[in-house]
Chains A and B, each alone.
Chain A
Amino acid sequence: MTGSLFQRFKGIVGGKQNRVPDLTTRFKAFQAMLDGNNRTLEAMTEMGEKLGGDYLFDINYIQSAYARLLAAISDSLSNFTRLTDNHYPQLVAILARIDGQVQRMLASDGSVSNRLVVIYPEITWDLAAEVGGKNYHLAELANTLHLRVPEAFAITTAAFTAFLRHNGLEERLNGLGQADSTTLAQLRGAILAGGFPDDFTAALSTTLETMRSRLGRNGTLAVRSSAEEEDGEFSFAGQFETVLNVPCTLEAVQAAYKEVVASLFQAGATSYQRQLGYDLGKLKMAVGCVAMVEAKASGVIYTAAAGKDRSKMAISAAWGLGKGVVDGLTDADLYTVTKGDKLQLVERHIGGKAQMVVNCGAIGIETRETPAELRDLACLSEAEVLELARQALTIEEHFKTPQDIEWAMDKAGRYYLLQARALRMDDPAEEEAFRNQEPAPTDYPVLLRNQGVVVQRGAAAGKVFILHHLNELEKIPQGSVLVASHDSPHFVQAIPFLHAIITDVGVPTSHMASICREFNLPTVVNTGQATALLTHGQEITLQAGEGSEFVVYAGIVQSLLQKERQTGAKLRELYEFRRQKYIMRHIAPLNLINPLEQEFSPEKCRTVHDLIRFMHEKAVQALVAYAEVQGRGLARFFGGKTALHRLTLPIPVQLLLIDLGGGLQETASKKEVDFTQVGSVPLRAVLAGMLFPGVWQKEGVALQGRDLLSGMIRAADITNGGDGLAGYNVALASREYMNMSLRFGYHFNMLDSYCSDKPRNNHIYFRFVGGAAAITNRSRRIALMAQVLAEHGFALKAKGDLLIGRLSGLNRQEIEGILEQMGRLIGYTRQLDARLDSDEMVSILARRFLAGDYHLEP
């Protein structure tokens, strides 16, 4: 499959690029890419729905649904490659890699990589299954979050399989089914007596040599399990053996490895596996070998205190090794930190710490009496607590769920993270309420019902947070129900804090919708009236079913919440179900959120969803860039099929229009056309705004300057085909697309928009640069524009006198409305600098503008 995928792209990437495609060709590629993206998102949505627990599905379904998805994303990618002249060749390899992962899962073969041993810095996301959850998470802390983790390496599931095969144990694992304790004991014995295949021994020896050189002769390792799903959805906490203080020698590590592997079949562990729906013998175990930290103190952090309060985190600490805390041996210190705006240490309990676990080198570890002078002494200072809390918060934000983190501090006072796994949350208060026979939902008033589209089913409750601006996302309190006029992929940053999302407008195939499904966040879109009917701070319960079946109750309906938890938990415990759903991990999650960040690079694309997002963003940018380049060279237009026209406007602006098809109404074949002939939906909207009475400040315009004249072009320039278009006003337009560059003196506006009946395709990209006035006035103008754009929901970036705004996913009418406002803003702000002599004026004028008052007088 991977090979064939490469074949598909060979033709595009290969040497058939003699001719530079003209803009029309590129534009067609752009549209075809949008179409591919849509089909991909639709396939993704369908798979998400069918694999969500409401359907009985089988492998045939997954295979055919995935094939459709792959075909769609491949189409998308080939058009994107065409559009950008193969500017991002990495994407093909990334898609091939994702495809490889999915195909492997579909073939039910978890490990095909032949890497037996991998050091942590080399653990990449696609090795997650091979190195197991525990190794993967810990490596991620170091590799992605740049937090301190001890030197370590992973022995993969491929090594596990090789070990079993070498010792003829594979057969014995098949049909282990209901094996009794004698059979299991024999199996453990066989593992402990087992030998190692040569390649395994060789790989391990090489890595151990590296470890010895880094840790010194006395360095030792903790050898512990990292089963496939461990520290993922299920904790397996304490189920398997951990061997501490293992010297970095081949013999010692191999012996410890066998002990850990054998523990897969010890009594407690086997019943746990059965409970989770594993067929005994199916679970593959990777092993982690992590350098022991000479711990002065260590402990555990729960980023949600007591496993339920997400506003606080709890940090425990004791002297010596963490085993004392984890096993509950000693009365540890307990620090409570509130998360809020600023991390704050609010409570400190200094434990008695009568005993401590110490590392005694070759003899192993030992529990000793804590020296008297240390017992009542706090293990951590306030600054140290806050530093640990800060790191913990970073980890929680990264994994998007509360974490259970083990840490240690060495003699030099450096922190090391030893483990991070999802914290299983519980809420005894709610269960208690349920037992006390909470009233049925019928006793609660209904606020909203069945008017909208359910994106993710489920029941959830919380306080309503009505979002007006994207910048309020950071302020959303834990456990809120986000209510917004539109959906937005930016919501993902708030998802850890949300219990549900309800929007007035939205589609079930948006980026946001896929994210909500991925996170199982109950979500309803397109209710038309949620922001009007629900009030900020109000407590509500959402019960979302299928299609358009949902109810919003006033108040917290405990009975619904309880039922929801029971069903969800049982379903997640079905191993096969989880396994199939894991395929979606390579498809649906969105890691690339903000196109303005450094992270927005091809290398960061991990999933199909990332690819779509990346391609869309870069395709828009590419189109803009090509439009700009071609706008500067007239000759090309006459070589291609595009037609250049001069637009007559009732305002003193001259604008050239390049018709990409449907940009003008059919009759417009003349060089000079009246603005009323414009057929492009987005361009008409912008022009309507620019021509709005009062927006064009005639009285204040300094006509003697280059301000307006720079926009003028004589007919001779066009007919001569001279390439002097730089600095002139140019609009490229098709029926649904426009890209317009407008220059007024030193102000430069670039507006790019797609405005169609498919909200997901629609976008507005706006860029503003320049201004001849003093820098403070220029910044003020940027501030004013930013205020207005923010009001319309743009994601903004401003730097100096550069402002970039992006907006997407709105329906046609909304885009038109905003473009009209943009037209007004462009006209209005042409010569604003001079008026902006104070910061107060920025807000005053922004408010006036939003209220439709375009006077500039103070």
Chain B
Amino acid sequence: MAKHSIMVIDDEKIVGDMAKLSFEQDGYEVETFLNGESALARLVEKPFDVVITDLKMKGVDGLEVLRTVKKLYPGIKVIMITAFANLDVAIEALRDDVHDFFPKPVKIKELKASVKRALGEE
């Protein structure tokens, strides 16, 4: 079976680096992006199985990533992580069919469980 692919978008390198390391250990294929623009450009070329995105980023933010993903590939699950937990934003994201919403710092174990659920593995 082909590896599941995960796209990780966060404007801080460390988040992507750590996520990449952790998920690759579990056999996923991971690509990381430092901004929404480059991620969306890549999404057009390749549909990932799961997208993990930061909410607050300069330019294209997490909500915009979420909406674009849903427009392009309604089936792809989007997990949002943010340092600025805010109920309004969470509600808005839920309306746009976000799969999960985590405040940072997020436990990698929980993120992995969420990805599994997104892939219907659990």
A interface vs B, CB < 8 Å? 50, 53-61, 277, 546, 567, 570-571, 574, 576-577, 580
**Is B81's beta carbon under 8 Å from chain A?**
yes
Given the interface pairs A54-B109, A56-B111, A58-B12, the reply to whether A577 lies near B104 with Cβ below 8 Å is: no
Interfacial residues, chain B to chain A (CB-CB below 8 A): 10, 12-15, 17-19, 21, 25, 54, 81, 83-84, 104-109, 111
* Partner of B21 from A59, A60, A571 at Cβ < 8 Å: A571
Contact A576 B17, CB 8 Å, known A56-B81, A58-B12, A567-B25: yes
- Are B17 and A58 closer than 8 Å at their CB atoms? no
10 A-B pairs whose Cβ atoms sit less than 8 Å apart in the complex: A50-B105, A56-B105, A57-B104, A58-B10, A58-B12, A58-B104, A61-B104, A546-B109, A567-B25, A574-B14
Would A54 and B21 count as touching, CB distance under 8 A? no
A61 / chain B contacts, CB cutoff of 8 Å: 83, 104-105
Query: Chain A residues with Cβ under 8 A from B15's Cβ?
Result: 56-58
Q: Given the interface contacts A567-B25, A570-B21, A574-B21, does A58 sit within 8 Å of B106 by beta carbon?
A: no
- Complex Cα distance, B13 from A516, in Å, reads 28
Chain A residue nearest to B8 (CB atoms) is A56
Smallest Cβ-Cβ distance to A51: which chain B residue:
B105
Report which of B14, B54, B83, B107 forms a contact with A577, defined as CB distance below 8 A.
B14
Q: Which 6 A-B pairs have the closest CB atoms?
A: A576-B14, A57-B105, A55-B105, A60-B83, A58-B12, A50-B105
Q: How far is the CA of A200 from the CA of B18 in the complex (A)?
A: 39
Q: Could you tell me the distance in whole angstroms from the C-beta of A736 to the nearest C-beta in chain B?
A: 35
Complex partner residue of B12 from A59, A567, A570, A574, CB under 8 angstroms? A59
B105 touching A574, Cβ below 8 Å: no
Please name all residues of chain B whose beta carbon is closer than 8 Å to the beta carbon of A571 when the two chains form the complex: 18, 21
A55 surroundings in chain B (CB, below 8 A): 105-108
When A61-B104, A567-B25, A576-B13 are in contact, do A56 and B109 touch as well, CB less than 8 Å?
Answer: no
- The verdict on A277 contacting B10 (CB below 8 Å), with A56-B105, A61-B105 known, is no
- The chain B residue with its CB closest to the CB of A546 is B109
Distance between Cα atoms of A267 and B54 in the complex (Å): 36
Residues of B with C-beta under 8 A to A53: 18
Given A277-B17, A577-B14, A56:B106 Cβ within 8 A: yes
A55→B19 CA distance, assembly (Å):
9
Minimal Cβ-Cβ distance residue in A for B14 = A576
Q: Which residue of A lies closest to B12 (CB)?
A: A58
Q: A58-B12, A546-B109, A567-B25 are in contact. Are A574 and B104 (CB under 8 A)?
A: no
Q: A59-B12, A61-B83 are in contact. Are A54 and B107 (CB under 8 A)?
A: yes
Whether A54 touches B17, Cβ cut-off 8 Å, given contacts A59-B12, A61-B83, A567-B25, is no
Q: A56-B15, A57-B105, A546-B107 are in contact. List 15 more A-B contacts (CB 8 A).
A: A54-B107, A54-B109, A55-B105, A55-B108, A56-B18, A56-B81, A56-B105, A60-B104, A61-B83, A546-B109, A570-B21, A570-B25, A574-B14, A576-B14, A577-B17
B-chain residues with CB within 8 Å of residue A577 when the two chains form the complex = 14, 17-18
The residues of B that contact A576 with a CB separation of less than 8 Å are 12-14, 17
Give the most central of A50, A58, A567, A580: most B CB within 10 Å.
A58
Contacts of A580 in B (CB 8 A): 14
Cα-based distance from A57 to B104 in the complex (angstroms): 6
CB neighbours (8 Å) of A60 from chain B are 83-84, 104
With the chains together, A713 CA to B61 CA distance in Å?
A: 78
Partner of A574, one of B18, B81, B106, B109: B18
Min CB–CB distance B101 → chain A (angstroms) = 14
Nearest B residue (CB) for A58: B12
A58 CA to B21 CA in the complex, in Å?
16
Neighbouring B residues of A54 by C-beta, 8 Å: 107-109
Q: How far is the CA of A577 from the CA of B14 in the complex (A)?
A: 6
The distance in angstroms between the C-alpha atoms of A152 and B18, with both chains bound, is 39
Q: How far is the CB of B83 from chain A (nearest CB, A)?
A: 4
Which residue of B has the minimal Cβ distance to A62?
Answer: B105
Task: For B83, list chain A residues within 8 Å (CB).
Answer: 58, 60-61
| Residue numbers in A under 8 Å from B81 (CB-CB) | 56
Chain A nearest CB from B22 CB (Å) reads 8
C-alpha spacing A546/B105, complex, angstroms: 15
Q: A58-B10, A60-B83, A567-B25 are in contact. Are A574 and B108 (CB under 8 A)?
A: no
Neighbouring A residues of B107 by C-beta, 8 Å: 54-55, 546
Contact B14–A58 (Cβ < 8 Å): yes
A56 and B19 in contact (CB under 8 A), knowing A61-B83, A61-B105, A577-B14?
yes
Per the bound structure, the CA–CA distance linking A57 and B83 in Å amounts to 9
Q: Which residues of A contact B84 (CB under 8 A)?
A: 60
In the bound complex, CA of A525 to CA of B7 (Å): 39
A550 to chain B, nearest CB (A): 15
Bound Cα distance from A275 to B54, whole angstroms: 26
A574 contact set on B, CB distance < 8 A: 14, 17-18, 21
A574 to B19, CA, bound (A): 11
Q: Whole-angstrom distance from the CB of B107 to the nearest CB of chain A?
A: 6
Chain B hits for A56, CB < 8 A: 15, 18-19, 81, 104-106, 108, 111
Task: Please give me the residue from chain B that is nearest to A61 by CB atom.
Answer: B105
What is the bound-complex CA distance between A435 and B86, given in angstroms?
A: 49
CB-based nearest B residue for A49: B105
For the complex formed, measure the closest distance between the CB of A581 and the CB atoms of chain B, giving whole angstroms: 10
Q: CB-nearest residue of chain B relative to A566? A: B25
CA distance A576 to B12 in the complex (A): 9
A832 to B: closest C-beta gap in Å: 58
Closest Cβ neighbor of B24 among chain A residues:
A570
**CA of A576 to CA of B84 in the docked complex: distance in angstroms?**
21
A57 to B107, CA, bound (A): 9
B13: chain A residues within 8 A (beta carbon): 576
* CA–CA, A58 and B9, complex, Å: 13
A546 to B107, CA, bound (A): 10
CB of A342 to closest CB in B, whole Å: 45
Quick one: closest B residue to A573, CB to CB?
A: B21
A273 to B111, CA, bound (A): 30
Nearest residue in A to B84 (C-beta to C-beta)? A60
Q: From A46, which residue of chain B is reached at the shortest CB distance? A: B105
How distant is A54 from chain B, measured CB to nearest CB, in Å? 6
B67 to chain A, nearest CB (A): 23
A546 to B81, CA, bound (A): 21
CB distance from A562 to the nearest CB of B (A): 13
Which residue of chain A has the shortest Cβ distance to B25 in the bound complex?
Answer: A567
Give A567's nearest chain B residue, CB to CB.
B25
Give the Cβ gap from A549 to chain B, nearest Cβ, in Å: 10
Min Cβ gap B84→A in Å is 8
| Residue with the greatest number of chain A CB neighbours at <10 A, chosen from B14, B17, B83 | B14
A53 to B10, CA, bound (A): 17
Which A residues lie within 8 Å of B25 (CB)? 567, 570
CA gap between A56 and B12 in the complex, in Å: 11
Closest to B54 in A: A58
Q: What chain B residues lie within 8 Å of A57 (beta carbons)?
A: 14-15, 104-105
Bound complex: CA A50 to CA B13 (Å): 17
Determine the residue in chain B with the shortest Cβ distance to A60. Answer: B83
Contacts of B21 in A (CB 8 A): 570-571, 574
Among residues of A, the one whose C-beta sits closest to the C-beta of B111 is: A56
Alpha-carbon distance A54/B105, docked complex (angstroms):
10
> Which chain B residue has the least Cβ–Cβ distance from A576?
B14
Closest CB in chain B relative to A335 CB, distance in Å: 42
